[in-house]
Amino acid sequence: MKIYSLQDFLKYLEKNGELIRIKTEVDAKLEAAEISIRALQQGLPALLFENIKDSRFPLAMNVLASDKRIELALGKHPDQLGEELITFMEDAMPPKPKVFFKHPGITKRLISTLPKTTFWTTSQEVIQGTDLNGLPVITCWPEDGGPFITLPQVFTYDPRNGKRNVGMYRMQVFDGKTTGMHWQIQKGGGFHYFQSQKSGKPFEIAVALGTDPALLLATVAALPEGIDEVMFSGFLRGRRTRMAKGKTISIPVPADAEFILEGTVHLTELRMEGPFGDHFGHYSNASEFPVFHISAITHRKNPVYPATVVGRPPMEDKYLGNATQQVLGPLIRLIHPEIKNLWAYYEAGFHNLLVVSVEERYRKEAMKTALSIMGEGQLSLTKCVVTVSEEVNPRDFHAVLRAIHEHFDPAYDFIMIPKVPLDTLDFTSYKMNLGSKMIIDATRDDTAKKQVDRKTSQNFETLLKDIDNRIIHWNLLGEALLVVSVKENGREVVRNLTKSTGITGPAIIAAVSTDVDICNLEQTIWGIFTRFDAERDIVFTEEKLVGISPVFRGKMGIDATWKTGYPSPLVMPDEVVDRVNKNWDAYWK
């Protein structure tokens, strides 16, 4: 089946048993979010809510919230597409005509990257006016600043050269005609806004709601700055993306979207936006962001409104993020041939943990690679980079821990970088857009030092209670990572454990709060890597200065407990949970 729109894909999902229609009336405020979260956790199909309270439009959720749905969207596994792409690129250096005949599938996709201008559109079949109030815009979490458009595909153009960017930036609905525009740092739309401010030219933008999966995946992909997402969507789809002139703006808009919001962002106007329950599993703090003023809303006949929920993993962004890094990840080898693979962990919100496998051609090349990655586009927002040798699979967290256990010596293999740009959503430094980062080098380095010899302690249960009775639970992962659960004073507990001569074996000891299930690997990674600041919350058995250079020895400790001043973790109200429990069976009739 040819898939050119969201509704094409929904029909395809239904044909393959991957869509459920819910006819029971559902409230877009919290109830729809709770249903979608629970459905994802239970492995249920995508959801089409046909009866949303106070709206005449149906609501689609969890559309790409499984590996199977991602594969249906792309026509093949994203790993396969990624390897085909990098093989073609490597064969094409230098360019040779025969390469295009050798790779006909990729060649067809490359030809499809050029967008197509058309006058026949479905996204402009109906001109609604400028009122957002009829759309089923969801409220995801109880402390959110209001309803948010959570799957907007924002089209902006650089005023200097007309280059296009398509990004996904949440949009808080202030009223029927205005929304927030949450441009975080290192985002293409924010760069275009910056250039418009310098030039003083009016900043027109278009927002597409509901496109085919190829354009959606291209929108969320961490493409290099200046690479056109519309062209990349043509590559993913194998068919050119249709674009058309806007009704009230001069810039092109997608011709096959469900809805198009046209308008302008004023260059000097800011408004308080948020808080918002974000993909780090906490609320991001309210702050001032630009305001989008709507000049027209168009849509196709009988459109479907799309939405997603982000929060404590797993959520739908797991599948979106994993798919895009599977397709694009291999391309890093064009810039860094020493890199064999890399993987950003959705459990940590992607930006908080990146593992890179490196074939070292000289001593400490892995550390050089890590430093370089921290200056590359979206990867520059990574908080923790772990490097491993080429035979280690970065996606296998237990294999990564084994590498750390066998090869990590903080005296040689740890770098902390303070006071640098950090993901806007990271709250651990208490300063928006600023924080600290760290590198752990767990590659083999037999020429520089001996293998790290760590014999694991016996009888942890008795040992830990004797060291600090504030420890409630503990879990040892791969002999490398000891995780303890504490109610308070995480820093003191971690300090006591790293100083203890009785504990041997683990290279890293982390303390987390009691809301983290330390017997669940997914929740453990989330609980550790979203709740510490490298500069403030890392300790070692021994710390000293040699000149101005810090030297660390022994065990590494991480205080990853929730701290006063952090935003609250995301929790759904009991009354919403009870309502969904009560109506659960009715939803599926």
What is the domain partition of the chain in residue ranges? Answer: 6-306, 316-442, 460-560
Maximum Cα–Cα distance across the chain? 75
When the candidates are 3.30.420.40, 3.40.1670.10, 3.40.50.300, 3.90.76.10, the CATH number that belongs to 316-442 is 3.40.1670.10
* Residue found by looking up tokens 């595909």 in the block: 153
* Residue found by looking up tokens 């409104």 in the block: 305
- The beta-strand segments (E) located in 432-501 are 434-442, 471-477, 481-486
Give the integer Cα–Cα distance in Å for 164 and 154.
Answer: 10
471 near 482, Cβ under 8 Å?
no
The first and second tokens of residue 45, run together, are 């199909």
Q: Which contacts of 448-454 are long-range, i.e. CB under 8 A and separated by 24 or more positions?
A: 448/363, 448/364, 448/412, 449/409, 449/412, 451/406, 451/407, 452/405, 452/406, 452/407, 452/408, 452/409, 452/507, 454/405, 454/479, 454/504, 454/505, 454/506, 454/507
Catalytic (active site) residue 278: yes
Q: What is the pLDDT of residue 206?
A: 97
Give the integer Cα–Cα distance in Å for 300 and 44.
Answer: 28
Q: What is the pLDDT of residue 249?
A: 96
Coil, strand or helix at 273: strand
The first and second tokens of residue 576, run together, are 């919403």
Q: What is the pLDDT of residue 451?
A: 53
CATH superfamily of 460-560: UbiD C-terminal domain-like (3.40.1670.10)
Give kind and range of the element (H or E) at residue 304.
none
Rg from Cα positions in the chain: 25
Coil, strand or helix at 174: coil
Break the chain down into helix, strand, coil percent, rounded to 5: 30, 30, 40
pTM given for the model:
0.92
Question: Which residue stretches of the chain have pLDDT < 50?
Answer: 450
Give the integer Cα–Cα distance in Å for 444 and 408.
Answer: 9
Q: What are the backbone angles phi and psi of residue 484, rounded to the nearest 5°?
A: -120, 145
DSSP letter string, 30-62: THHHHHHHHHHHTT--EEEES-BTT-SS-EEE-
306 near 32, Cβ under 8 Å?
no
Q: What is the pLDDT of residue 457?
A: 64
Coil, strand or helix at 490: helix
Q: What are the backbone angles phi and psi of residue 517, rounded to the nearest 5°?
A: -80, 100
Give the integer Cα–Cα distance in Å for 392 and 403.
Answer: 8
How do strand 59-61 and strand 46-49 relate by DSSP bridges? antiparallel
Give the integer Cα–Cα distance in Å for 427 and 533.
Answer: 9
379 near 354, Cβ under 8 Å?
yes
205 near 158, Cβ under 8 Å?
no
Coil, strand or helix at 303: coil
109 near 534, Cβ under 8 Å?
no
Which residue(s) pair with 292 in the sheet? Answer: 179, 265
The first and second tokens of residue 137, run together, are 């815009």
Q: Catalytic pick from 144, 228, 256, 278? A: 278
Q: What is the pLDDT of residue 423?
A: 86
- Give helix then strand counts, H and E, for the chain: 19, 28
- The beta-strand segments (E) located in 443-536 are 471-477, 481-486, 508-512
Q: For residue 546, how many other CB atoms are within 10 A of its CB?
A: 7
Residue 337 makes CB contacts below 8 A (sequence gap 6+) with: none
The candidate with the shortest Cα–Cα distance to 415, out of 553, 550, 559, is 550
Q: What is the pLDDT of residue 450?
A: 47
Q: What is the pLDDT of residue 115?
A: 87
Q: What is the pLDDT of residues 334-368, one digit of tens each?
A: 889 999 999 999 999 999 999 999 999 999 999 99
The candidate with the shortest Cα–Cα distance to 263, out of 224, 291, 243, 238, is 291
Residue 579 makes CB contacts below 8 A (sequence gap 6+) with: 31
| Domains 6-306 and 460-560 equal at CATH topology level | no
Q: Which CATH topology does 6-306 take?
A: Pnp Oxidase; Chain A (2.30.110)
